[in-house]
Amino acid sequence: MTMVNLEDKVMEKVNIVVKLTGRTVEDVVNDALWVNLQKIEDVPDEIDYEKIWNMLDHDKPEGDDILDNLIRIGEEAGD
């Protein structure tokens, strides 16, 4: 299992879904991530995955904001 940090506003929405569905926080977050990560199958094979991986900041003491990094990388990959 991996720890994930969610902004307060995101966590509020997760908690609403948990209350409405009776599911666990982990199930709700995993399902949301899975739905979005399935879109990766649409990424062209020509993408340089190693370049993308190396562009991500690793082991930052203040934590990685992976979503901001992925957006930035997506914009840079289009250049």
Q: Which domain holds residue 71?
A: 43-79
User: Between 53 and 10, where is the model more confident?
Assistant: 10
What is this structure's pTM?
A: 0.49
pLDDT in tens, 11-28: 999 999 999 999 999 999
Looking at the fold, whether 58 and 37 belong to one and the same domain comes out as: no
Q: Each residue of 41-56: pLDDT tens digit?
A: 777 778 777 777 777 6
Q: Between 4 and 7, whose confidence is greater?
A: 7
Q: What is the pLDDT of residue 58?
A: 60
- Same domain, yes or no, for 8 and 24? yes
**String of DSSP letters for 1-61:** -------HHHHHHHHHHHHHH---HHHHHHHHHHHHHGGGGGS-TTS-HHHHHHHS--S-T
Same domain membership, residue 22 and residue 55: no
